[in-house]
Structure 1
Amino acid sequence: MFAKSSNAPSRGGGKKSTDDIKRRLKSVVGYSPYAVYYGFIPLVIYLGFKLGPDPGTPEFSLLSLLPIG
């Protein structure tokens, strides 16, 4: 009824699962500088809109960020 799948990882913590974890962790660490590089400015803009302006300053919108004139 509950047959063990051939693709299921073993519970013994074999070499294959450790190598797989190391490979995946290396991949995540490899892409993290790109995530920080391309995500910092959008995060700052998002937090600025979410938290709002300081008291006493005028309200702003997305249109006020554009250099239209």
Structure 2
Amino acid sequence: MARAAVGWGVRELAKEAGVSVDTISRLERGEDLQPRTIAAIRTALEAAGVIFIDQNGNGPGVRLKDRSA
């Protein structure tokens, strides 16, 4: 969901996070990844404006930063 929110394909996210396309595919299939790999992907998405929302009764989610503020 986060990747789609910023309009990136798998290749763009992989490049920005410094990981392989296969790694992004594995993440999206729900496979386990190393914590440092997940951190790199999260950092890339946050730098693009994604805000990760913790579990709040309806499950975790994402939204984009307000760029007008």
Length-normalised TM-score, structure 1: 0.27
TM-score (norm 2): 0.27
Q: Which has the higher strand share?
A: 2
Q: Whose RCO is larger (CA < 8 A, sep 6+)? A: 2
Higher helix share: 1
Which protein shows a greater Rg? 1
